[in-house]
Amino acid sequence: MADQTPENVIAQFVNEQGEVLHQSLSVPANINPEQLALVLNTLLQQEVIKQIKYTWDQGSSLVKTTEYQEIQKSLVDDIIKPGKHSTEETFKIVYRPQAVFRVRAVTRCSSSLTGHTDAILNVAFSPCGTMLASAGGDTTVRIWDLNTETPQSQLKGHKHWVQHVAWSPNSKYLASAGMDGMVIIWEARTGKQHCIMRGHTKWISALAWEPLHLNPKCARLASSSADGTIRVWDVVHKRMVFSMSQHTAPVMCVKWGGDGLIYSASRDKTIKVWESTVGKLVKTLEGHAHWVTSLALSTDTVLRTGANDHTGKIYKDESEAQKRALERYKQATAGKPERLVSGSDDFTMYLWEPSTNKKPLKRMVGHQKTVNHVAFSPDGRWIASASFDKSVKIWNAQTGEFISSLRGHVAEVYQVVWSSDSRMILSASKDSTIKLWDLKTKKMKMELPGHADEVFTVDWSPAGDKAASGSKDKTLKIWRQ
């Protein structure tokens, strides 16, 4: 009698902040996620004036211990049967909105682009999703036309390996930097050299453009170098604005945050937060016990894409684009300060909220070797980390809790990248393959072999239709569904 499940249970929908959406309602106990989503969407249409398509992602029974349980099959199978929650009480079901669009998984290689004469070290899609830039050990930067998947222009100017390329958020400029310590700005459409900026005494590890909503002209750019400095350059006046030199070891990563802060991670085990107008040191985040190798911001995707959203709208002028970018930024942060995650050689990751606190929110342990790359999902809910221990791990970005470990690579994983709808992850590995992982099932969805050597870099177009990977075998591969 006791184990008989009732037909109906009382449920309540709660959003992530804990606000109750609607008064309690009775739902059938064997309701599945799709049906729940249907109910939820109907409710939201009534409640929310602006109509947004919410789809079901995760449900949970919010008990006093705030233990979350994902609803996979149905309410009965996942929660009532295992006895996680009494049927007498109200079920609090937490919902999370998902992206209104869906990115189709990349499954095949549509072209192998040759041209580089040495390993490809970095690939980057333009924020508008129409161009692709690749940089390699042959000192050139190449821009590829994505419609025809053919070379568009070859940019010569560097004297040594080009380590990093970065598109300005308005897709007008392409910045490249490398082992020769020069930053070169190119005009993306014509392929002409805009300016060369010299100043760094050692190789440059990363570049970061000023976000579009802070400066619609995309005039400033930060570069981090092995000489321990971060320099901010003015692209319009073609000069250095200021240099920030507090780090005592090579700076490996730099990010320009949406709140006007610059974050830098260095091999001196610290992360430093700088103010971006004059270059004043704001905070030093300490905690790591070894080199800090990688940084990711919860707003990375929205900062990278600027005003370009999934609708592909083109804005008339800069101020309009800026307005849209700001709107998108606000939507992405939802009024909360942006969060930062750092990966390190000490095998751990830290979750920070740099604008409020210099203490970490959470120390994320679990990897058994160097964490090489971290990435926030575009919706800011998940963190993926790539490690030399051959695994990719998924973490909850709110709390920093470990969610799942994705195993399958047989060698070091170098990079991870999210699809723009936050449903899939691509990982590039030393074992010459790229693997596509599904966040819902937490399993490998697709294996993409084809490269003849280590895959150094991978990127997924913000538009979601294509992914690109660059390898040591000197070829660039474009993947699509």
Partner 1 sequence: MQFIPQNEYIEESIKRHGRRLDYAERKRKREARQVHKDSQFAQKVTGLRAKMYNKKRHAEKIQMKKTIKQHEEKNAKQKDDEAVPEGAVPGYLLDREGQQRAKVLSNMIKQKRKEKAGKWNVPLPKVRGIAEDEMFKVLRSGKTKSKSWKRMVTKATFVGEGFTRKPPKYERFIRPSAMRYKKAHVTHPELKATFCLPIIGVKKNPQSPLYTQLGVLTKGTVIEVNVSELGLVTTGGKVVWGKYAQVTNNPENDGCVNALLLV
Give contact residues for partner 1 (rule: CB under 8 A).
Answer: 118-119, 121-122, 136-139, 159-161, 163-164, 203, 205-206, 250, 252, 293-294, 372-373, 409-411, 414, 429-433, 435, 447, 449-454, 456-457, 472-473
Residue 345 beta carbon to partner 1: minimum distance, rounded to whole angstroms: 9
Q: Is 138 helix (H, G, I), strand (E, B) or coil?
A: coil
Could you give phi then psi for residue 237, rounded to 5 degrees? -90, 0
Nearest distance from residue 54's CB to partner 1, in Å? 38
Buried b (16+ CB within 10 A) or exposed e, 132-161: bbbbbbbbbbbbbebeebeebbebeebeeb
Q: Which of 78, 82, 29, 28 is nearest to 58 (CA)?
A: 78
Least distance to partner 1, CB of residue 449, Å: 5
Instruction: Give min distance, CB of 232 to partner 1, in A.
Output: 19
Residue 136 or 306: the one with the smaller Cβ distance to partner 1 is 136
| Nearer to partner 1 (CB atom), residue 5 or residue 368 | 368
Instruction: Find residue 426's DSSP bridge partners.
Output: 417, 436
Spatial distance between the Cα atoms of 359 and 362, rounded to a whole number of angstroms: 9
Which of 26/110 has CB closer to partner 1? 110
Strands 402-407 and 182-187 come out as unpaired
Both tokens of 94, joined, read 């937490």
Supply the minimum distance, in Å, between the C-beta of residue 158 and partner 1.
9
Q: List the beta bridge partners of residue 373.
A: 386
**218 vs 458 by CB, closer to partner 1:** 458
Residues 234/138/464/314 CA torsion (nearest 10 deg): 40
* Consecutive H or E run containing 238: none
Query: Which C-beta is closer to partner 1: that of 16 or that of 453?
Result: 453
Residues 381/368, Cβ–Cβ less than 8 Å: no
In the complex, the smallest distance separating the C-beta of residue 310 from partner 1, rounded to whole angstroms, is 30
| Encoded tokens for 247 | 């780090």
Nearer to partner 1, 322 or 475 (CB): 475
Q: To the nearest whole angstrom, how small is the minimum distance from the Cβ of residue 223 to partner 1?
A: 12
At which residue do the structure tokens 């051959």 appear?
390
For partner 1, give the closer residue by CB, 58 or 176.
176
Nearer to partner 1, 33 or 178 (CB): 178
Min separation Cβ 452 and partner 1, Å: 5
Q: What residues contact residue 249 under an 8 Å CB cut-off, 6+ apart?
A: 228, 266, 267, 268, 291
In the complex with partner 1, the residue whose CB is nearer, 31 or 253, is 253
Query: C-alpha angle with apex 407: 365 to 351, nearest 5 degrees?
Result: 25
Q: How far is the CB of 302 from partner 1 (least distance, A)?
A: 24
